[in-house]
Structure 1
Amino acid sequence: MTVEQKLVLITGANQGIGFETAKNLICSGNYHVILGSRDSAKGAESVKALESLPDTRGTASWIQIDVTDDKFVDAAAAQVASQYGKLDILVNNAGIVSLAPPSRETFRKILDVNVVGALSTTEAFLDLLRKSSEKRLVFVSSSTGSITHAANSSSPYYSSLGTEYRTSKAAVNMLMVMYQARLKDEGFKVLGADPGLCATNFTGDPESLRKRGAAEPGDGGHRVAIVVKGEKDADIGRVLGDYGVSPF
């Protein structure tokens, strides 16, 4: 008897943590992962890279989606509905960061991708998730978005840098909590996943991140993937990181 694949959509998955999460899933289980990518060429290249991996247990495809553009988001949902008729797991991973001093323009851009984009994508795919017995919704967050850490001068996450990004992740945490409260009676499992500081190209300088002790991208992908797989379901409605539950 053939076991049906679990269908996962990961936004911003043509590189970095999103790509590594997809890699972990198709190498470790019977998943079909749809890589959400703004750039169609990069999406296709990333799928080829996954398909070239040895001994994969799952499969992958890509879909074009810009989480800041309602037309792209709605078209992506319509495409998944037409091809598959449902979605088992949505991973809101797409995000951007700025290392420059805070500015109005940058703040608006980061909130548009990291927060509004996550809400827009979630709302567009909710009905497809409702058609699944899995109904799993994962928000990729960060311990840098913890207000508890940010207010504690002895915390490793105490810093005045990254104002817009950190604020956006605090908002993502609230978004996750609100969706859990809203959807729990429908059988949804809503969680946050913190990949930790990883030496991806997210900041444009992975080597400087390694010098700061950053983990490798595959480690971050693993941390998100275990939440996707349900290994942290004892803490639904919380943000799960390498060290356990991240305080809000």
Structure 2
Amino acid sequence: MASSGKRIVFITGGNQGVGYETAKNLLLSSEEYHVILGSRDFSKGEAAAREIQAVHGVKGTVSAVQIDVTDDKTVDAAAARVVSEYGRLDVLVNNAGIISTANPPTRKAFRHVLETNVVGSLSVTEAFLDLLRKAVYKPPRLVFVTSSMGSITHAADPSSPYYNPLGTEYRTSKAAVNMLMAMYCARLKPEGFLVFGADPGLCATNFTGDPVSLRKRNAAEPWEGGERVASVIKGERDADVGKVLGVYGVSPF
């Protein structure tokens, strides 16, 4: 796949949902992008890459790499493959995540969600940092896909639409992701990195296994969530670096 001179973007969980739509948005917008879809199931990643490349009007290029963010060996292998094939990375998007609908919350679900959403994001970021330092398109960008559901300010405010006792595991994990974003922003700012949190909003994806019920709750379409994340990657939200950016602007932590 020709990618020389292109802006290289790696998206974890890129074979479906918001990750997939983010990739498609970028590739429809400009020929300057080459997007690597990180997928736990490589065959699904390859299928998604072929599907996007076949979309009418796509200008950029796309490929797939196998990665399970909870498996250090596959994370390191994915980084090694990017090193061997591209030698650099311009944008890393930590998008892979899971949710639990257990009520009340359970120990098992809590550990599983944190391992994927939080530890996985740190693992991938650390593995790919040296690749980002070699970015050709400056400044390198590091994006954490998060949620207003992870805002402690919202969760503690009875007047907020996000004030409810449900989704403990997922919401706590996204609060932790917001802190990760803030820590990496402080750490990497001296090196010229731009670090963001991107909130795609509630989208009718297969994330919960029931997109129909999400649409009944007025969820946005997946492409809308992808557009919101892509706007951060494209540099349209650079005035608010180091913050969580969503459909309604900047989300409080």
Q: Which TM bucket (shorter chain)?
A: over 0.9
Which residue of 155, 162, 165 corresponds with 1:160?
A: 165
| Alignment RMSD | 1.1
How far residue 3 of structure 1 moved from its aligned partner, in angstroms, is 9.0
How far residue 22 of structure 1 moved from its aligned partner, in angstroms, is 0.3
- Would you say 1:122 and 2:125 are equivalent positions? yes
What letter matches 2:169 in structure 1? Answer: E
Which residue of 88, 93, 118 corresponds with 1:86?
A: 88
Aligned length: 247
Partner of 1:239: 244
Deviations 1:66-121 (A, max 9, x none): 00000000000000000000000000000000111200110000000000000000
Q: Deviation above 4 Å: which 4+ runs of structure 1?
A: none
How far residue 234 of structure 1 moved from its aligned partner, in angstroms, is 0.3
Partner of 1:106: 109
SS of structure 2 residue aligned to 1:137: strand
User: Identity over the aligned pairs, expressed in percent?
Assistant: 69
Partner of 1:76: 78
In structure 2, C-alpha distance between the alignment counterparts of 1:54 and 1:4, rounded to whole Å: 23
In structure 1, C-alpha distance between the alignment counterparts of 2:155 and 2:233, rounded to whole Å: 27
In structure 1, C-alpha distance between the alignment counterparts of 2:86 and 2:132, rounded to whole Å: 11
What letter matches 1:112 in structure 2? Answer: E
Deviations 1:132-169 (A, max 9, x none): 13310000000000000000111111111100000000
- Would you say 1:18 and 2:23 are equivalent positions? no
Q: Is the 8 A contact 1:89 1:134 kept in 2?
A: no
**Structure 1 residue runs without a partner (length 5+):** none
**Structure 2 residue runs without a partner (length 5+):** none
In structure 1, C-alpha distance between the alignment counterparts of 2:98 and 2:162, rounded to whole Å: 19
Could you state the TM-score of these two structures normalised by the residue count of structure 2?
Answer: 0.96
* Aligned 1:135-150 pairs, distance under 5 A: 135-150=140-155
Could you state the TM-score of these two structures normalised by the residue count of structure 1?
Answer: 0.98
In structure 1, C-alpha distance between the alignment counterparts of 2:66 and 2:140, rounded to whole Å: 22
SS of structure 1 residue aligned to 2:48: helix
In structure 2, C-alpha distance between the alignment counterparts of 1:71 and 1:44, rounded to whole Å: 20
Q: Is the 8 A contact 1:8 1:33 kept in 2?
A: yes
SS of structure 1 residue aligned to 2:196: strand
What letter matches 2:215 in structure 1? Answer: R
How far residue 56 of structure 1 moved from its aligned partner, in angstroms, is 1.1
Partner of 1:214: 219
* Aligned 1:185-204 pairs, distance under 5 A: 185-204=190-209
What letter matches 1:197 in structure 2? Answer: L
How far residue 4 of structure 1 moved from its aligned partner, in angstroms, is 2.5
